[in-house]
């Protein structure tokens, strides 16, 4: 047995189902070992796509997604997806081929110090320099990738080490997630603060999803009558139809939900990470008292200095606070009065027939055809702002948004991973025409491996989000327009179904038809992004109704 074969046995031992990547000269030994493995290798069309697939696989399963590249340009192509996973707390293992150790001391073809290169975008990374340490490297990689906060780990395998003979076995796996429980003192202090508060508000983030605390959070809010706002990455922790749900917070501009934070006398941050939405946006003066409930202590920030930190299992912490808290008051009328306005904003364009279609209408119609368990993957662009604001979820992990790193191009590779994880659910990749062209080649991968999903393109012929920002800052835009291919013909040339929306009333019928295809489908939907600046002017004039 050589090192590559031992590495694959260790990956099997960790329960790896898929490896996403490209073949290369320096990873041939690993690919050869995978031929007789239970692991399915998914050959992608670009390493960035492979990393995004591993990224989204990790988010949806809680198990590290694995991607593989060769050295040099193959490894550099992985970087964006690896960084995205690391900043968005998705467990991921990146494995790269490398020149032999006998070539590293000289100026060698395609050689880069990959351990140094990946260091800033991973939790940990290492090179396998001796065959015998392979089981320890793999076990440590998976343990660190999954531990809170989850993230990316990189393993570099030189080609001469990969071919060396070795004896060894995968290491025994014990639970990587031993629950830790908060102190009684901090739980009691939090219960007292909540009981004394007249206008508490919950801000829930992705950590609550990672820890499986959705039910506990919903029970906590319901029992104590506390309204809940979620970050973009906290969608679905509390069902959006719940009367205490104030929906998503996170736009860089003030929105109506910010009004609730203007009047709160206690923010209860549950599984919230500062990278999800900077605390200066909702607590600019640092005067709101905060309770921090998470599995790790709070980061230091002048706008986020908790009075009480509850560090431990989130579900257990919420249950224990409920047992200790005698709060019986009703929710603040200030916060609850916002919900009808939020609902009215959401419903405002339900019957709008304007064309090109307003982004609010596209998102509204998409929500109507997707079941509670179906999954959307949002790319990055102007459409992301509308998806974040208007696409609401009943369940966690049914709207995946790249937020910490905000990487364009994630939607199509992410949808492939989502379909592999949830083959019986409907999956939609929501993207702009800019993001679509960054990784549309992976539609061939989707067709080849049999993962049908719908790609919905918000088509405006430019980088709409940048135009929006330029208009806000300078009153004009520059260098943001481009041409597009015929997306319908492009889809058909790849063996996909292609659709073009020509009126607002066509969108729902087209979505329904596309979602039932047994091949991937692409919908070209012209969007009216004049709404971007109209929204900015509206929130710029926002007067909180309290």
Instruction: Look at residues 450, 408, 448 and name the one whose alpha carbon lies nearest to residue 429.
Output: 408
The label of the residue with tokens 């991607």 reads: 67
How far apart are the C-alpha atoms of 171 and 6, rounded to whole Å? 11
> Using an 8 Å Cβ cutoff, are 234 and 204 in contact?
yes
> Using an 8 Å Cβ cutoff, are 220 and 244 in contact?
no
- Written as six digits, the tokens of 524 are 């070209």
In angstroms and rounded to an integer, the radius of gyration of the C-alpha atoms of the chain is 24
- Written as six digits, the tokens of 50 are 């492979």
The label of the residue with tokens 């964006």 reads: 80
- Written as six digits, the tokens of 161 are 């080490």
Is the link from the previous residue into 149 a cis peptide, with omega within 30 of 0?
yes
> Using an 8 Å Cβ cutoff, are 3 and 155 in contact?
no
> Using an 8 Å Cβ cutoff, are 6 and 131 in contact?
yes
Facing residues of 157 across strands?
97
pLDDT at 332: 67
Strands (E), 205-336: 228-230, 245-248, 266-270, 290-294, 308-311
Give the 3-state DSSP-derived string for 161-209, with helices as H, strands as E and coil as C.
HHHCECCCCCCCCCCCCCCCCCCHHHHHHHHHHHHHCCCEEEEECHHHH
- Written as six digits, the tokens of 368 are 């109507």
pLDDT at 545: 59
> Using an 8 Å Cβ cutoff, are 450 and 421 in contact?
no
pLDDT at 177: 66
DSSP assignment, residue 332?
P
Instruction: Look at residues 160, 82, 180, 155 and name the one whose alpha carbon lies nearest to residue 122.
Output: 82
DSSP line for 295-308:
SSPPPPBTTB--SE
How far apart are the C-alpha atoms of 1 and 3, rounded to whole Å? 7
How far apart are the C-alpha atoms of 178 and 160, rounded to whole Å? 38
pLDDT at 255: 82
The label of the residue with tokens 């999800």 reads: 276
How far apart are the C-alpha atoms of 99 and 25, rounded to whole Å? 10
> Using an 8 Å Cβ cutoff, are 234 and 206 in contact?
yes
CA 64 vs CA 61, 138, 241, 260, 400: distances in Å: 8, 12, 32, 37, 16
Instruction: Look at residues 59, 55, 68, 64 and name the one whose alpha carbon lies nearest to residue 27.
Output: 68
> Using an 8 Å Cβ cutoff, are 281 and 178 in contact?
no
Is the link from the previous residue into 82 a cis peptide, with omega within 30 of 0?
no
How far apart are the C-alpha atoms of 77 and 67, rounded to whole Å? 11
Element (H, E) at 125: strand 124-127
C-beta neighbour count of 51 within 10 angstroms: 32
How far apart are the C-alpha atoms of 288 and 187, rounded to whole Å? 19
Residue-range domains of the chain with CATH: 3-163 (3.40.50.970), 184-338 (3.40.50.1220), 348-538 (3.40.50.970)
What residue ranges of the chain have pLDDT lower than 50? none
pLDDT at 150: 97
Instruction: Look at residues 386, 388, 381, 392 and name the one whose alpha carbon lies nearest to residue 358.
Output: 386
pLDDT at 543: 63
- Written as six digits, the tokens of 190 are 């939090």
Angle, alpha carbons 27-30-36 (nearest 5°): 145
pLDDT at 156: 97
């Amino acid at each position: 047995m050589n090192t590559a074969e031992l590495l694959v046995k260790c990956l099997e031992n960790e329960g790896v189902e898929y490896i996403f990547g490209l073949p290369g000269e320096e990873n041939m030994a690993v690919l050869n070992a995978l031929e007789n493995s239970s692991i399915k290798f998914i050959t992608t069309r670009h390493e960035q796509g492979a990393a995004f697939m591993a990224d989204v696989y990790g988010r949806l399963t809680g198990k590290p997604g694995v991607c593989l590249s060769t050295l040099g340009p193959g490894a550099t192509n992985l970087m964006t997806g690896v960084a995205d996973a690391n900043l968005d707390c998705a467990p991921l293992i990146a494995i790269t081929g490398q020149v032999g150790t006998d070539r590293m001391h000289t100026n060698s073809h395609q050689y880069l110090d990959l351990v140094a290169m990946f260091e800033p975008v991973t939790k940990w990374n290492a090179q396998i320099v001796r065959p015998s340490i392979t089981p320890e490297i793999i076990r440590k990689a998976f343990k660190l990738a999954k531990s809170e906060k989850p993230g990316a780990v990189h393993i570099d395998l030189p080609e001469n080490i990969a071919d060396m003979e070795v004896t060894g076995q995968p290491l025994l796996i014990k639970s990587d997630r031993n629950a830790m429980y908060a102190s009684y003192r901090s739980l009691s202090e939090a219960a007292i603060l909540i009981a004394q508060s007249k206008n508490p508000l919950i801000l829930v983030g992705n950590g609550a999803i990672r820890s499986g605390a959705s039910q506990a959070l919903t029970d906590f809010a319901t029992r104590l009558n506390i309204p809940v706002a979620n970050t973009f990455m906290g969608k679905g922790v509390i069902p959006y139809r719940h009367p205490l749900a104030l929906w998503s917070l996170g736009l860089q501009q003030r929105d109506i939900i910010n009004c609730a934070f203007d009047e709160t006398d206690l923010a209860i941050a549950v599984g919230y990470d500062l990278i999800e939405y900077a605390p200066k946006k909702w607590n600019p003066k640092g005067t709101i008292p905060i309770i921090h409930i998470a599995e790790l202590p709070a980061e230091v920030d002048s706008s986020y200095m908790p009075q009480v930190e509850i560090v431990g299992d989130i579900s257990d912490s919420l249950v224990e606070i409920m047992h200790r808290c005698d709060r019986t008051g009703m929710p603040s009328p200030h916060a609850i009065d916002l919900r009808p306005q939020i609902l009215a904003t959401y419903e405002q364009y339900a019957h709008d027939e304007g064309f090109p279609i307003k982004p609010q209408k596209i998102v509204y119609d998409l929500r109507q055809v997707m079941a509670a368990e179906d999954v959307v993957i949002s790319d990055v662009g102007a459409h992301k702002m509308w998806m974040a604001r208007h696409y609401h979820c009943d369940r966690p992990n049914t709207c995946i948004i790249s937020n910490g790193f905000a990487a364009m191009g994630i939607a199509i590779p992410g949808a492939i991973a989502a379909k592999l994880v949830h083959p019986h659910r409907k999956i939609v990749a929501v993207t702009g025409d800019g993001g679509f062209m960054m990784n549309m080649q992976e539609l061939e991968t989707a067709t080849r491996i049999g993962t049908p999903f719908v790609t919905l393109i918000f088509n405006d012929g430019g980088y709409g989000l940048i135009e929006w920002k330029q208009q806000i800052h300078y009153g004009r835009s520059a260098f943001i327009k481009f041409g597009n291919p015929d997306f319908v013909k492009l889809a058909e040339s790849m063996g996909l179904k292609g659709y073009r929306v020509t009126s607002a009333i066509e969108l729902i019928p087209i979505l329904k038809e596309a979602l039932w295809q047994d091949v991937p489908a692409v919908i070209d939907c012209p969007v009216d992004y004049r709404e971007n600046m109209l929204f900015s002017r509206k929130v710029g004039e926002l007067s909180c109704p309290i």
